[in-house]
Chains A and B, each alone.
Chain A
């Protein structure tokens, strides 16, 4: 066998990822863009009426986009502070035996299937919310956000912990040597040093929340409206796709609009991914300097 052959084969197989990405973009564009033939982009993105089964369908995705953003924002608000607290705890405060138990447990929690969270939201959290806050329904923005928060805590906390760990030991020692307490060291030295990593960890958590489907499909209530309270139901982009894809005739405007929704999701998550990559790169460069 020629010594060059294996290298060529490996390179060829490696390009499968490139091919998948290209196909992914191609199919989403091919199936999503035809929506613009029937509806203007302005109406599609800024329209507030999502009545896809009407004749002709009203395909304003603003409530869906706002739904996605509101669940993501609220869950980030719940999860990020807690995740960072847990990361600080794991990296700076916890005794070794706690670290040894908690770190793998946290990682394991990251594997919790989202359908399980969605199920708990539906059968446990929803009735409880309904009773305790005297609501008409417990399937709402708050329910989905709490579960989504639980979903992204392991991701954000693990990554944040890594970025705390990456802060050189010497910085802490220097701070202690100057007489600073542990908390002062964390707040004034470790935290600022780890900031790019924390930002990127939070962004990756947000990206995950934005793209998560089952939790919002089962627990968010599913009404395509712009929420004014945390007890209002929402219908994020992901749950609209999952719930409506099967019911619509293949090739209809609604079908294309759902692919367009996928395109919006892809654009948002890719954007966040690129920003977090940029932050990571900046952060690394800082340590190099």
Chain B
């Protein structure tokens, strides 16, 4: 009885193996880019029903590793490829090609009742370092600042770290929230809070601050005027061909860029 059960299971697993379908596109990598990739994949498959796109979120590091190893077709990354990764790619004889697909910008936000309107990068850095602890020092009321940040593994934190903190460390006293949505809720409830969110999340319950006198919006981000922003990338193994090329073209097309806007990022045009 057992033998036949094993044989059956074996046969079942064999039939599962099969060969991977030629029209399969695997997209792997950064969780930041996931919403774009997922929505774009859905729309792309509507007009190309023969193609099947799997999207997974291993993170930028895993995505780029997968491109180098050739185990994925497209790698999403919220950062550019690192020198160590280029070295690894060269050693393996592979040639990752980057495509910028969207921009990600972070806006500092406060409670609507807060009189402060503008902060410089330096002031923001000092707030998050824990050096400036009172709104009075920034032209606001005499009250303590409640610093709200994101956890170190999020892509959002990475941008803030890179563009605002530079080499400085966020004070351990900063409160940590898990998502853009939670940030909005937290700041909307706390009169003393300061936080940062992606451009797609702005609503009436919070007030956005300009940075160095520059309002953060689609135009200033694209101009490169607004300082807290970065590009999001899709990497391919060599110059893309076939479905990978079609998909990248779709993401960069008007329809694709509309999706970028809808998912809370800044379209490239």
Contacts and interface: CB of A to CB of B under 8 A. Distances in A.
- Indicate yes or no for A touching B, C-beta below 8 A: yes
B61 A136 contact: no
Interface of B: 30-31, 57-62, 64-65, 82, 84-85, 88, 146, 148, 151-153, 157-158, 161, 167, 169, 172-178, 182, 186, 189-190, 193
A233 B172 CA distance: 10
A225 to B, nearest CB: 4
B190 A223 contact: no
Contacts of A222: 151, 153, 176, 178
Contacts of B182: 137, 139
A112 B58 CA distance: 26
A22 to B, nearest CB: 25
B57 A246 contact: yes
B152 A51 contact: yes
Contacts of B173: 225
B57 A53 contact: no
Contact of A53 (B31, B146, B158): B158
A6 B62 CA distance: 44
A250 B67 CA distance: 12
A250 B175 contact: no
Contact of B161 (A53, A221, A248): A53
Nearest to B57: A246
Given A53-B161, A136-B193, A252 B178 contact: no
Contact of A249 (B31, B84, B174, B176): B84
Contacts of A137: 175-177, 182, 186
A235 interface: yes
B184 to A, nearest CB: 13
Contact of A136 (B64, B153, B158, B175): B175
Nearest to B149: A223
Given A53-B152, A246-B62, A249-B85, A136 B172 contact: no
Given A222-B178, A246-B31, A246-B57, 19 more contacts: A51-B152, A54-B161, A137-B177, A137-B182, A137-B186, A139-B176, A221-B178, A222-B153, A243-B153, A244-B152, A245-B59, A246-B58, A246-B59, A246-B61, A247-B59, A247-B153, A249-B64, A249-B85, A255-B61
Interface in A126-141: 130, 136-137, 139
Interface string A216-237: 0010011111000000010100
B155 to A, nearest CB: 8
Contacts of B62: 246-247, 250
Interface centre among A137, A139, A224 (most CB of B within 10 A): A137
Contacts of B84: 249, 252
A52 interface: yes
Contacts of B186: 136-137
B177 A139 contact: yes
Contacts of A235: 151
Contacts of A225: 172-173
Contacts of B85: 249
A247 B65 contact: no
Q: What are the 5 closest A-B residue pairs judged by CB atoms, nearest first?
A: A246-B59, A247-B59, A222-B151, A223-B176, A225-B172
